[in-house]
Structure 1
Amino acid sequence: MASRLLAPLNGLPEVIAMESVIKSEMESELAPKLLVLIRPRNLEILSALATSPMSTRQLSKLLGLQESNVSARLQELVKFGFVRDEGWRRVNERNVKLYSLGVNGLSIEFLPQGYKLRLRRSFKKPTLETTFYYGDFESPTIGFEFIGRRRELESLAEHRSVLIWGIAGIGKTTLAAKFAESLGTPIFWHRVRETDSFIFVVNKLAVYLSKFGRVNLATLLEEGEKDTEVLEESAIQEVTQLKALAVFDDYHLCGDSELKRFIAKFVGRTKAIVISRSKPVELLGHGVFELELGGFSNYDARSFIESRLHRGVSEQDLKTISKRTENHPLALELLCQVAM
């Protein structure tokens, strides 16, 4: 009679392709972008527009800023609904583009785990509400017993920057999270999305660094700095000085060329882990150690199965399981769940 443990194996080809169940908190891309816009100079612009619509030149003279600086700020404020572009108007025999206030108010509610922004608009939807959780910076929590990977953990400890790559569900995120858990140092964890841009990640880094009193990057952003190299240098220096570990998960989803270039510079100069399903050739040659993650060893596979089932597994069953699953952690996990 076939072992009960082996019964679910016929369904494993579909199982292996599934995503790992270990995920960090869902993050809002909008909240940190809005928060970055709420800085003194921008608030002065909004206060000025509360009196009447104004042109870029009028705001420039009123606030003592260069027109190019005011123009760049207005474009961002228009993009997120703080300001309305009223188009070109005839004023004092001249054609000028006017801007008006697009919001009636803004409130920030501080939560134990983050903050909530409420933006009351004077057009479109009356209220926009978005929440940002500080947990978005943190490494995922491992909710089960971690098994094996001793050699891989040693490699992570020995090298400044490491690229962990391998197929879905093989345990890349779990491995990095276990290593991060053992460090006792600040961790900046970012799960890359297809829509991520360089400026979004830099803004997020600035908010994170500000938690530790490091505000150089945030100050540059507040002052309207647009030079990518200046922002890159500030981000790398502050993370290095903080002695933090930066983790960029799901790197294979990255589609922004500026963000890819930034991460390549980052791993070449400070402590970082990049996690990807595929091997990103653009990161190789920057001093990053390449760690291709495969299935468990047979010894670790046995330990894994027995830790989940709380009973032993025969040598024959183990051989059959290893052959069919290649000791893929997610496949073993689901196999054990079915067999329990």
Structure 2
Amino acid sequence: MIYTPFSYFVWGIVVEPISLLKVLSSETNLQILSLLRSGSFHPRELARLLHRSESDVSRRLKKLEKLGLVEGRWVRLGDRNVRVYSLKVDEVKIDFLPEKVQVDIGEKEDYTVPITAGEVPEVKFFVGRGEEIEILRSSKGKLVVVYGIAGIGKTSLLAKAFPEAFWYTLDGSESMEYLAWQLGLYLNSLGYTALLEYLRSGGKGEREIFELILDGLEETESVVIIDDLHKCQDDAVKRLLTYLAGKLRNGTVAVASRIKPMLGIEGVVYINLGGLKPREAYELAKNVRGEVSVEEFARIYRITRGHPLAIILLLESPELSEEVVRENFFEFLFMEIYQSLSADERRMLSILSLFEGPLEYDAIKTLYGKKNAFPVLHSLLRKGLVERRGRNYFVHDMLRGFLKEAESVNSKEYYLTYADYLLEKNNPHDFLKAFEYTLKAGAYYKIKDLVLLRLKKFKHVVGDFPKTYRRILIQVSDNPYAKAELGIIYFTTGFFQKARDILMEVEYEVEGIFRAEVVGILADVLISMEEFEKAEEYLEKLQRLAEELDDPDVWLWYYMEKTKYEYYQERPEKALESAFKELEISRRQANLPENEALVLLHIGDIYLEMEMPEKAVRYYKESLEVSRVYGMLSLEHLAYMELSKCHYILGNYEKAISYGTRAVEYFTRIRNYRRTVDTLAYRCVSWIALDDAERAEKDAREMIKIAHGTGYPLGWAGYIFLGTSKILRGQDGSEYLKKGREHLKEYPWLYDAVMEELGKVFDTSLLEETTTAPQAN
């Protein structure tokens, strides 16, 4: 490595240190590096995880590759080449020496991506609060609640106490699911991957998410701050906090709220924040103005009673008599401070007051529309009328109300401008915000276009953020396109009857590709509800729409539903024919790797149903290859699970165990207990086939443990396998065999299936307790 004041060499590439510093100062770039630490990814999957556009992620990857931090390589996938990226280095160390900038790039065992300073609010003036800071900094393993009136300093206190925490501010629009994604990304950057993997796999179980968040906080000893809890509209967030209270040991969660939330007693510390003490308030006043006489400070303290924001604002205003100020403090602010501002400052404040949450500088610049945006914003920041949180700026809630009344502005115009700005960012989260602000502007004529955008570009929104999307749509539920989206959300969340009723209601109120999507989902709902005659009717409708529209998406939906329908009707040859049509369309579109991997899995399933496991193995392996290339961990491990099953059927027990072990480890980590038990069952019987009683017993006990925790029926088969392993060791297993029969008496078909599989590798006549199959009550 060569070091100079101006550049450095990385594997033959000359890079300026300033370029490296600029790239590493981006939170998004750090998240990309963190995700690549866990494996190779295609830009599309990284974009989905980060909720950004694929073009933006690709651009960032090229910069990181140019700097020598990541490595891109072409992978041959079928008849095409695919570009994937992986992490090239484990550590970047920069030393600013007197004679040069020294850059070291190498490997390090303990690799973490620190949270960027911009995520924690900047503390401009901070005085006092020594007792509170001591309580907060000694609160490891606790849930701490700081509550008090607006402007009293809750946010500043937490930012001062925890300068390197994960900071999340609620604005009332987000839901538990979005908070979980952000925590998943953060914990992933610290090396805890399970939460993010669970969410990527489509997991939505509240209990599992809570458990994974707790495990992640404990393992990483993280500090998480939830600001403005009083704005929260999703009770699941409060349930999470209640769940964490009393269970935390190493992690810390701090909450700021205007009102005291009832989150329990055990493991919770409540701090009711009041005004500053006189000495502290005097120090703040001197920090703001420089010199303040004792007499003037006494007057200020009598008016404000130590309220920090009130002190700052009062010091910025012209002097008036105490009597005038005391009558109505905020009317005083309105009359004296606001009217002393320039026209540009007033306009900037009026714009900011329209938005409940913080705005990034680029958004403010777009909304403001003049070249002097930065000096105006800086002036308001200096006067204490605007606050900064990381890279974002906002007007304090304490001032927003009277600012809205101060000057009439066309809120609809600004909301639409902001919505257009958000849509240009081309990511799911900003799409949802843009939808919300479009509705705030009353521009209902844009709903159809936004739904089309969701359908074409942001299909994961329905599955990843159903609560948030539903809350937005419910505001205009009389609009047929919004109502159709609500029906789709009900379908994806498992409320089939409700989905069917809504979608049938709007079927003829929407047109074109929208109607095709509604008809396709209705076909799926009816198949799932085993209303096959009606499902066939909708399949025919979908086929006619596909011919009429000649849209590849519609043809794909048709063949997806056709495959499922034929499979459920036990016509595997026809299902296979349809599945290959699905595969052809997915590959032709070249932007549907998830669909391709799923279809390959389904083809494997069909071949397995046709008792052709050798062919099934081929397509499961192809699905595995696609999933690996694109970094789709959930589908990758589903392929491992199916390959384990196939090799078990083929009698290749070592291979069945090898593939099954990868799947078990993954599904256990992400709390997918059903998949874990399904895979454990085949692995356990494979151990029995190899006469390895010790490992068979270990798997059997794990199945039993999961069954007790979840009630998943196949888990009770663990007792049968445990009894069998005891017999393999020459011990008495009758007690366990009896328990297995007792637990499975409600599932005689499952008991028969378990005994049939076990009979392929073990002489079940040795299991005296199982000679009579259990009868249902």
Q: Using a 3 Å threshold, how does the CA distance of structure 1 residues 156 and 139 change in structure 2: closer, same or farther?
A: same
| Structure with the higher fraction of residues in helix conformation | 2
> SS at the partner of 1:190?
strand
Is 1:175–2:125 an aligned residue pair? no
State which of 290, 303, 325 in structure 2 corresponds to 1:310.
Answer: 290
Task: Report what 1:333 is aligned to.
Answer: 312
CA distance in 2, matches of 1:153, 1:136: 19
TM-score normalised according to structure 1 size: 0.58
Does the CA contact (< 8 Å) of 2:169 and 2:228 recur in 1? yes
- List structure 1 runs of 4+ shifted beyond 4 angstroms: 134-137
Change (3 A) 1:136 1:157: closer
Question: Which ranges in structure 2 are unaligned for 5 or more consecutive residues?
Answer: 1-26, 64-114, 319-382, 384-777
- Offset, 1:217: 0.8
- Kindly provide the amino acid, as one letter, of the partner of residue 220 in structure 2: L
> 1:265–1:286: 8 Å Cα contact kept in structure 2?
no
Quote the offset at 1:321 in angstroms. 1.6
Whether 2:116 is the aligned partner of 1:150: answer: no
Q: Output the CA distance in 1 between the equivalents of 2:219 and 2:170.
A: 24
The one-letter amino acid of 1:138's match is E
Structure 1 residue runs of 5 or longer lacking an equivalent are 1-26, 45-75, 81-102, 113-133
Alignment of 1:1-340 (within 5 A): 108=57, 109-110=59-60, 138-142=119-123, 144-159=124-139, 160-181=142-163, 187-268=165-246, 269=248, 270-281=251-262, 283-314=263-294, 316-338=295-317
Q: Distance in 2 between matches of 1:110 and 1:292?
A: 44
Give 1:106 shift. 5.7
Counterparts of 1:217 and 1:136, CA distance in 2: 24
Q: Which has the higher strand share?
A: 1
After superposition, give the CA deviation of every residue in 1:205-256 in whole Å (9 maximum; x if it has no partner).
Answer: 1111121222111111122222211111111111221111010000001111
User: After alignment, is 223-232 or 290-299 more displaced?
Assistant: 223-232
Between the aligned partners of 2:199 and 2:235, the Cα distance in structure 1 is 20
C-alpha distance in 1 between matches for 2:195 and 2:172: 24
User: Post-superposition shift, 1:138?
Assistant: 2.1
Check whether the contact 1:137–1:188 (CA below 8 A) recurs between aligned residues: no
Residue aligned with 1:110, SS: helix
Shift in Å at residue 267 of structure 1?
Answer: 3.9
Match of 1:12 in 2: none
SS of corresponding position for 1:332: helix
> How far off its partner does 1:292 sit?
0.7
Counterparts of 2:122 and 2:261, CA distance in 1: 26
Relative distance call for 1:154 and 1:107 in structure 2 (3 A) is closer
Residues 247 and 273, structure 1, Cα contact 8 Å, conserved in 2: yes
The Cα shift of 1:277 comes to 0.6
Q: Assess if the C-alpha contact under 8 Å between 2:245 and 2:264 holds in 1.
A: no
Q: Distance in 2 between matches of 1:179 and 1:296?
A: 16
Is the contact between residue 267 and residue 273 of structure 1 (CA under 8 Å) also seen in structure 2? no
The 3 A distance-change label for structure 1 pair 245 and 297 is same
**CA separation in 2, counterparts of 1:145 and 1:106?**
40
* Aligned mates of 2:207, 2:118 — CA distance in 1: 23
Q: Does the Cα contact within 8 Å between 2:223 and 2:252 map onto a contact in 1?
A: yes
Query: Whole-Å Cα distance in 2 between the matches of residues 263 and 310 of structure 1?
Result: 42
Shift of 1:137: 8.0
Q: Whose relative contact order is higher, 1 or 2, with alpha carbons under 8 Å and at least 6 apart?
A: 1
Distance 1:242 1:333 in 2: 38
How far apart, CA to CA, are the structure 2 residues paired with 1:199 and 1:137? Answer: 23
Contact 1:306/1:313 (<8 A) preserved:
no
One-letter identity of the residue aligned with 1:321: I
**Rg (Cα) greater in structure:** 2
How much is the aligned-residue C-alpha RMSD, in angstroms? 3.5
1:257 shift after superposition = 1.4
Aligned to 1:280, the other structure's residue is in SS state: coil
Residue 126 of structure 2: SS of its match in structure 1?
A: coil
